[in-house]
Structure 1
């Protein structure tokens, strides 16, 4: 009888454990299905005029005498009432709008995924009377990725909506490929512009492998399936084909820039060199010298400015992974910038 009692308790514990495991697994599966069904992110819209007004009010309260401030606020209310009365007597025209997008490009132009969502969203509302401003920062990267980024910006142009690109720090190589799509390019005086060229490099370990009696075999179907390799013995014919592909890509790059900025002397600027903002203006790589802050503050007096961003939902492992990847990208880009030009402050 004691045996049956102990067996019954053991069986009850086992069943309870199995049920608990099934509940946990079921909950995880349900959570996974729910996450799959939910959108990966959402569009966030912020009206910057209100932010600018708030900054102004904070400064006024701190600096202006309270009595004088009351007079100013009273005068502003009178002006607002007069404006409302004037609009009541005539058909009010819609105030122009400026849509602001930020693009921070890495080597893979990962931000293009968010850019396409932001552009798709604003195109549902923007008209030819509005303007799209892109604050762009990129030292370039993969050709096909930045080509897609340029095509996304071109969607705005095809709708007849004015497009302005502001560069505060750098728009080089693929970054300039995107910037040149705009109707107008603004750059800070020391922003880095240009680098209209193509580069490719890879190490070759063939001699090291040969020294250690290690064979490496590369099998391909198609004469040009692989021109250069990291581990095999590269040939002059392979190098010639690789250079031919680089030159062809460079020609496409030059043609693309020339189509969007016909005022450029493309042969003079498409040599891979870079220029600071003031020098880039002389080369007609940019149209005006101004920071994005200066431009947007001026625009806020005549238009409503809406900052649009696509906010991705990321899991904790993804956040750690992206942070590590971003750190590596920043290190590589900084190293390339220093290698490319010795004109920096140390």
Structure 2
């Protein structure tokens, strides 16, 4: 009995401690949220920009930033606020220039493209952009190459060697575990299943990756060629021959303007802003700048206008049910589309898609809502880093589709994966199963045994119907024949540039171009932009997301750049569910 009371007492104490800690964190969140004040920007300031985090489409409403438990770090701004801040700085008399500090650009290339174009637009104000880094990855150099001056640490690292893309193959591991991935698919190029059944890329997949990677690399070189005034063929030869080994090589071939230490950069920034060497540089971080005098920079016509253009953000993998900032839930996006469709103040819609796809059923549900919206008001799609497979499915019904040149899109195909774990259960674990059933197909989908030929045919017919629906939807939306869509479909992946040529997109551009296009189609001269789905409040997110936020924080901190492999392995388990309209894999450019 004494041990029982000890156990009960310990449980009560433990529960009390958890409640107290949780309450303290909640008070901290409320305190941080309530303490944020508008930031005053001093005259002759430099806007300090540093991208050392994954850039999402929207700034997350994250209650766990700025808390000591999470390192008291700045918010990770979304692309929407990054672009708005750079645009705002262009016309802000207190901002004299931008200091682009060392960054890693862990996002896709289309996101980098949008920020790069925003910096080019900023320079039209005749203000300066200075870039500096100790380590230039190719992605960051592409962004930095638009700067007036590009500097590197004299002992730094400059990467300039061309693009590569890799796939992690799991067949060997599955074989050791006694798991067979049973594949049902449509599409010669639909390579999402290859890591489960092959140990290297198929010829068809190698062909398509070579094609779209080459298209992306060509655009990369063309951008640097224009901004640095270096012949594109010369840039190709520099990378191909491995000429850029040291910072001195980058200077020799005019990829950078100087070799400098950080203190020398700060001195130059002071000179450019008329600050004495002994005085502190007036500088404001991107996050703080976003909080500064926002209302003063808002277009008066936007404030007074009753007209609305709704921007609906669809970012992440597609699944049924509710989603969040990093996943597309068919119910969440459908609700948003229905809401803007019936709102008389919303005159046009921009659907921002950044997704590799996912559930074919959930994709079809969203496609239906896009079709219904198109019947009553203009809807324009803006594609981000990737809008492929299911991501393209939900886009194809729009009035117009706008993509970046290096957007990954297409991948029109369907597949399903059902694991056969018989050897794992029987041979590895010594587990066997037995039972009864009332019909021949009552246990269809049982993972403890292989599919019969008849069952495989049932699943193949289901996938075939899904592909037929997909290609029919694209043909209708794009005004093409289904036969033509099939010829450029088959799961093949294209860049935005290639998709413009084959008719899958209408023009190249960014999200601002999509908004302007929507306004033009709705014949609007003044309007206000509203964003959907609505982001959850701090208290809502605290109630549901503490464990997920904590887990993600520490996993990312531990794995660093290898976090993407963790995500890939997690993604494999998602493939073994319902039929998928999903791109082959995440494209990582090294």
Alignment equivalent of 1:273, drawn from 481, 489, 492: 492
Alignment equivalent of 2:457, drawn from 235, 240, 249: 240
Contact 1:218/1:232, CA 8 A, preserved across alignment: no
Give, in whole Å, the separation in 1 of the partners of 2:361 and 2:549: 21
Structure 1 residues not aligned, in runs of 5+: 1-43, 66-79, 84-93
Contact 1:98/1:303, CA 8 A, preserved across alignment: no
Give, in whole Å, the separation in 2 of the partners of 1:334 and 1:219: 33
Could you say what secondary structure the match of 1:131 adopts? Answer: strand
Instruction: Label 1:332 to 1:207 Cα distance change in 2 as closer, same or farther (>3 A).
Output: closer
Could you say what secondary structure the match of 2:420 adopts? Answer: coil
User: 1:252 deviation in Å?
Assistant: 1.6
- Indicate yes or no: 2:410 matched with 1:194: yes
Alignment equivalent of 1:205, drawn from 421, 434, 438: 421
TM-score (norm 1): 0.65
User: 1:187 deviation in Å?
Assistant: 0.4
Instruction: Label 1:283 to 1:324 Cα distance change in 2 as closer, same or farther (>3 A).
Output: farther
Give, in whole Å, the separation in 1 of the partners of 2:459 and 2:426: 24
- 2:137 corresponds in structure 1 to none
Contact 2:317/2:355, CA 8 A, preserved across alignment: yes
Alignment equivalent of 1:305, drawn from 505, 523, 528: 528
User: 1:226 deviation in Å?
Assistant: 4.1
- 1:3 corresponds in structure 2 to none
Structure 2 residues not aligned, in runs of 5+: 1-60, 62-80, 98-124, 127-298, 554-562, 576-582
Larger of the two Rg values belongs to structure: 1
- 2:91 corresponds in structure 1 to 57
Contact 1:96/1:302, CA 8 A, preserved across alignment: no
Decide which moves more: 146-155 or 281-290. Answer: 146-155
Contact 2:381/2:402, CA 8 A, preserved across alignment: yes
- 1:318 corresponds in structure 2 to 545
Give, in whole Å, the separation in 1 of the partners of 2:384 and 2:332: 20
Give, in whole Å, the separation in 2 of the partners of 1:290 and 1:184: 12
Give, in whole Å, the separation in 2 of the partners of 1:233 and 1:153: 39
- 1:123 corresponds in structure 2 to 341
Contact 2:341/2:377, CA 8 A, preserved across alignment: no
Number of residue pairs matched by the alignment = 275
- 2:467 corresponds in structure 1 to 250
Could you say what secondary structure the match of 1:267 adopts? Answer: helix
Instruction: Label 1:96 to 1:333 Cα distance change in 2 as closer, same or farther (>3 A).
Output: farther
Q: CA RMSD in A?
A: 4.2
- 2:389 corresponds in structure 1 to 173
Could you say what secondary structure the match of 2:465 adopts? Answer: helix
Higher helix share: 1
User: 1:185 deviation in Å?
Assistant: 0.4
TM-score (norm 2): 0.40
| Deviations 1:212-236 (CA, angstroms, capped at 9, x unpaired) | 5432236544444443432124322
| Deviations 1:110-157 (CA, angstroms, capped at 9, x unpaired) | 3333323333332343479x3211111111111221222222222311
- 1:21 corresponds in structure 2 to none
Give, in whole Å, the separation in 1 of the partners of 2:586 and 2:349: 35
